Structure 1
Amino acid sequence: MPTVTVIVPVRNRSGVIVRCLDSVAAQTHAAVRLIVVDNGSTDDSRSVVADWLEAHASRFLEARLLDEPRAGANAARNCGLRTVTSGYVAFFDSDDEMSPDFLAAMLSALRRSAGARWVLARTRMIFPDGTAQVRHGVPHPTVVRHLLSAQVSTQSFVAEAALLHEVGGWDETLTCWQDYELGFRLLRHAPQPAWCEQVF
C-alpha cells in the first residue's frame, strides 16, 4: 500500500484547523503520514494542533508539528516537504476538508495510469450558505486545457515526493497563484498526469 504524506500549513486558524485535521484522520486510505507546519501563529493554533496530534497519533504512521518562522504558506509547505519520507504528497490548507475517500481515489487513479507521477481531480468550493460550486471542470484527457483554463489548486492534486523535489517545491517569492505556477512546472517535468474522475 503506497504511503502518502499530507502537509498542512497553519497560521492563526485555531477556529477551523480541527475540522481540516479531522477530515484527514477520516481517510479510508490507511497509510497516511501527517505534517502540520505552524507558520508563526499568534493565536492558539499551535497548541490546538499539538493537542489534536497527541490525541490522534495512533491513526497515522507518523504525525508531526513543525515550525517555520519565515512568513508565507509556501515556506511552510516547503518546510514540510523537506522532511517527507513517503512516496506521495498531498497539500491541504487549514480551511480545507478532505472527502473520506480522497486519498484512496487519487492513488487508485495513479495506479491505473501507467507512468503517471501525479494526479489531478476537480474539487468543490463550499460557501457559507452551504451551497457548492465545482472548480476546474475540464475533463480528461485535456489536462493542458485544464491548466490553461483554470488552475491547479492546492488541494486538487497528489504527486510523487520525488517529482515535487525535482521541480523545486513551492515558489516562496509568490504570494498568489502559487498553485497555478506549480502546476505548470509539474506538467513540464511530468506531462502525462493521471486524472481522477471523482469530484471532491
Structure 2
Amino acid sequence: MTALPVNKFDVLFSSGSANVPDDAIAVAISLFNYETFIVECLDSVAAQIYKNVELIVVDDCSTDDGAMVVATWMEANAGRFVSISLIRHSRNRGLASTRNTACNYAKAPYVFILDADNEIYPRALARLKEALDDTGGGAAYSQLEFFGDLKRIGDGDIWRKETFINGNYVDAMALVRKDVIQQVGGYTHIEGGWEDYDFWCKLIERGIDAVFVPELLCRYRVHGNSMLRTDTNRNAADVLLQVQMRHPWLNF
C-alpha cells in the first residue's frame, strides 16, 4: 500500500467507537466556506438507510462559520453514526489534500467522497455498497442529478477507458475501497481543478475496475462557487495540459 500524504490538523469534535464494523462506510466530507450548504449535506448523510456509517468532516481552514455549524450539528446527531469526527487543517491545503486527510483518518474499509455543497439520496450508500459486493470492483458510482442553478441529469455511463480518453464523465461522489485509494496514492492536486479526473485515470492505469449504478443516487449542486462554474472553466486549457501530461493516453 502507498501511504497517503499526512497533513497537520486539529480534532474539533469526535464521538463514537474507536473500532468500526467491517462493513462500515466512511463518508468523507470536504468543507471550505460552505456554511450555507453544509447542514443539508449532513442531513442527507444522516438519512441514509445504510446503518453503519462513519462520518468525517475535514474543514480546510474555512473563513466562515462552517466548522461551528458542523460541530453543533454533530453534537445533536452523533448517536446516528458508529463514529463521527470534525477535523480542521492547520492551514488551507486545497481539495485533494482535504480528501486525503479524510481518507487517512477513516477507520472504515470503504470511503464515500462527498463535498459540502452536494447531497445524496437515502439509498445511495446501500446501493453502491451492494454494487461493490456483487462485482468486487474497486469503486462504485451512480448517475448524477444536477440541482440548484442548473437542473438536469448527469452524464454517467459504464466504466470504459475509451470513454475517459476524451474527458471525465464520473463525478467524485463515489464509494471507493480504502485500500484502492491507498494503492493509487490518493488524490493529487491539479492546479485549477480536475482532481477527480486524475484520480479515475490512476485507477484505469492500474487495471482497477469501477461499477456504474444507473440510478439517481447523488445530487450535484450547481451554484456560483461550484467547480463547474469557476476554476476549471476559467483555466480549461491549462488544466487539460496538466492532466494530459500526467496521463499521455488521453486525447483532447
In 2, the alpha carbon distance for the partners of 1:57 and 1:175 equals 35
In 2, the alpha carbon distance for the partners of 1:19 and 1:11 equals 15
Number of corresponding residues:
194
Task: Give ranges in structure 1 of 5+ residues lacking alignment.
Answer: none
Displacement of 1:190: 4.1
Q: Is 1:20 equivalent to 2:37 in the alignment?
A: no
Aligned to 1:117: 138
Q: Is 1:6 equivalent to 2:27 in the alignment?
A: yes
In 1, the alpha carbon distance for the partners of 2:99 and 2:211 equals 23
Aligned to 2:156: 137
Pairwise mapping of residues 22-171 of structure 1 onto structure 2 (< 5 A)?
A: 22-68=43-89, 69-113=91-135, 115-128=136-149, 132-138=151-157, 140=158, 142-148=159-165, 149-155=167-173, 157-171=174-188
Displacement of 1:71: 2.6
Residues 20-47 of structure 1 deviation map (CA, whole Å, 9 limit, x = unaligned) = 0000000010011010001111111111
Aligned to 1:172: 189
Q: Which has the larger radius of gyration?
A: 2
1:151–1:179 CA contact under 8 A, matched in 2: no
The TM-score with structure 2 as length reference comes to: 0.72
Q: Percent identical across equivalent pairs?
A: 28
In 2, the alpha carbon distance for the partners of 1:83 and 1:19 equals 23
In 2, the alpha carbon distance for the partners of 1:143 and 1:121 equals 15
Letter in 2 for 1:43: D
In 1, the alpha carbon distance for the partners of 2:192 and 2:28 equals 18
Displacement of 1:145: 4.0
Letter in 1 for 2:171: S
In 2, the alpha carbon distance for the partners of 1:169 and 1:116 equals 17
Q: Structure 1 stretches (4+) deviating beyond 4 angstroms?
A: none
2:56–2:85 CA contact under 8 A, matched in 1: yes
Aligned to 2:242: none
2:156–2:169 CA contact under 8 A, matched in 1: no
